[in-house]
Amino acid sequence: MNAFPAGTRVFFWGPNAAVIYGVVKGTAMMTDGTQVLDIVDESGRGHKLPAASVTKVT
């Protein structure tokens, strides 16, 4: 099951403890089973992070 389908709003902690908000654009699965999210933040920058490091915006 994909807990973070495309379009899900998420946030994560960036440098200097800054909260970064973004939207999931896609997901991938590594060979070890780690789900990796392709996220675009509010400034348009792309990030690839493991799903365990992000939180859904409620």
**CB distance 22 to 11 below 8 Å:** yes
CA atoms within 13 A on the CB side of 23: 6
Q: Helix and strand tally (H, E) in the chain?
A: 0, 5
pTM of the full predicted structure? Answer: 0.90
Return the domain boundaries, the chain.
Answer: 9-53
Structure tokens at 39: 């996220």
Per residue in 4-55, pLDDT (tens digit) is: 999 999 999 998 999 999 999 999 999 999 999 999 999 999 999 999 999 9
CATH number for the region 9-53 comes to 2.40.50
The predicted structure's pLDDT at residue 1: 66
